[in-house]
C-alpha cells in the first residue's frame, strides 16, 4: 500500500522506460510523484508512452519524453521545460546509461567519448541544471554500478571508468549543494534481472553470482525501493553517500 511519501513532488527519471529505470518510475509514481520518464530512441516511444499512460491512469500525472543523453543542450532544455511546466522540480534520477563490451586494447576514441557523454557528462549536466530549479529538499540521485568498485571480468573498461567517476562527482556535489538543502547520492546496483542481462543460467550471470554473498539476482524493484527512500524528506541527512544494492558483490 502506498504511503504517499512523494505526493505532489515532481521527478525526472532518465532512461525510465525499461529495466531499473522503469521500476524507479513506477515506485515514485506509486508514492504520489509526478513522473517524467525519458527514453532515447524513436522506436521506444510507443512503449514509453504506454508506461506513462499507465502510471498516469493509476496515480496521477506522468509524461514520457524522448531525450538523447549525449546531447547536453537537450538535457538542459528538458529539465527547464519540466520545471516551468509544473512550477517545480524535486527529484532527478540519473539512470540512463550505455554499456560497452570492448577490450581496453580495442576500444576506439568514439566509443570512449560516447560512454563519457552518456554515463558521466549527462548526469553532471543534469544535476547542474536540475539544482538551479530545486528548493530545499531537492534530491539528485545517480544510478551507478558495482563495476565502479569491482571489475572481475574483461571488456568493462569504458563502463567501469565512466561509472566510477560518478563516485567523485557525487561526493563533491554533496558539498556544493548542501547549503541549498539539496542532497546528492549514488546507488550502485549489483547483478539485477533486466532484459540486458540475459538468461539467468548463462555463464556470465553465473560468474557474477559467484561473487555475491546472496546467490540470487536482484529485481529492479529492489533498486527502486532504495531510490525512493533516499528521495524522501526523512532522508535529508543522507548525502554524498555511495550505497550498494549488490547482494554482497563488493563485500
Is the pTM higher than 0.75?
A: yes
> Residue 92: how many CB atoms within 10 A of its CB?
30
pLDDT in tens, 135-173: 999 999 999 999 999 998 899 999 999 999 999 999 999
Helix (H, G, I), strand (E, B) or coil at 8: coil
Q: What is the dihedral of CA 25, 218, 160, 12, to 10 degrees?
A: 10
CATH domain 10-245 topology: Rossmann fold (3.40.50)
Active site residues: 159
Q: Sheet harboring 139-143: ordered strands across?
A: 62-66, 34-39, 10-13, 91-94, 139-143, 183-189, 242-245
Contact 218, 189 (CB under 8 A): yes
| Inter-helix orientation angle 19-30/220-230, to 10° | 50
Secondary structure class of 54 (helix, strand, coil):
helix
Tell me the three cell numbers of residue 36. 517524467
Q: How confident is the model over 50-95, as pLDDT tens digits?
A: 999 999 866 568 999 999 999 999 999 999 999 999 999 999 999 9
Parallel, antiparallel, or unpaired for β 139-143 and 91-94?
A: parallel
- Going from N- to C-terminal start, the domains of the chain cover 10-245
Contact predicate 212/190, CB 8 Å: yes
Q: Stretch 107-121: mean pLDDT, rounded?
A: 97
The average pLDDT across 218-224 equals 97
Residue 218's pLDDT band (cuts 50, 70, 90): very high
CB 184 within 8 A of CB 239: yes
Tens digit of each residue's pLDDT (9 = 90 or more) over 166-193: 999 999 999 999 999 999 999 999 999 9
In the chain, what is the greatest distance between 2 CA atoms, to the nearest angstrom? Answer: 51
Amino acid at each position: 500500500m502506498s504511503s504517499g511519501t512523494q505526493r505532489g513532488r515532481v521527478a525526472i527519471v532518465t532512461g525510465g522506460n525499461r529495466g531499473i529505470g522503469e521500476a524507479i518510475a513506477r515506485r515514485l509514481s506509486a508514492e504520489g510523484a509526478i513522473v517524467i520518464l525519458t527514453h532515447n530512441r524513436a522506436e521506444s516511444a510507443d512503449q514509453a508512452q504506454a508506461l506513462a499512460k499507465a502510471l498516469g491512469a493509476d496515480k496521477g500525472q506522468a509524461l514520457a519524453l524522448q531525450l538523447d543523453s549525449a546531447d547536453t543542450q537537450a538535457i538542459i532544455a528538458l529539465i527547464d521545460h519540466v520545471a516551468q511546466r509544473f512550477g517545480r522540480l524535486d527529484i532527478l534520477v540519473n539512470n540512463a546509461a550505455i554499456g560497452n563490451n570492448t577490450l581496453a586494447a580495442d576500444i576506439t576514441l568514439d566509443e570512449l567519448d560516447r560512454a563519457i557523454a552518456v554515463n558521466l557528462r549527462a548526469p553532471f549536466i543534469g544535476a547542474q541544471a536540475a539544482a538551479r530549479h530545486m528548493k530545499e529538499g531537492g534530491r539528485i540521485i545517480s544510478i551507478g554500478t558495482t563495476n565502479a568498485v569491482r571489475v572481475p571480468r574483461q571488456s568493462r573498461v569504458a563502463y567501469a571508468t565512466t561509472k566510477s567517476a560518478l563516485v567523485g562527482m557525487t561526493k563533491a556535489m554533496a558539498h556544493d549543494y548542501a547549503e541549498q538543502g539539496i542532497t546528492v547520492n549514488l546507488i550502485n546496483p549489483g547483478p539485477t534481472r533486466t532484459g540486458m542481462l540475459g538468461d539467468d543460467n548463462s555463464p556470465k550471470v553465473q560468474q557474477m553470482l559467484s561473487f555475491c554473498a546472496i546467490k540470487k539476482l536482484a529485481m529492479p524493484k529492489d533498486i527502486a525501493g532504495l531510490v525512493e527512500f533516499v528521495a524522501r524528506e526523512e532522508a535529508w541527512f543522507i548525502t554524498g553517500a555511495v550505497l550498494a544494492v549488490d547482494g554482497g558483490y563488493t563485500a
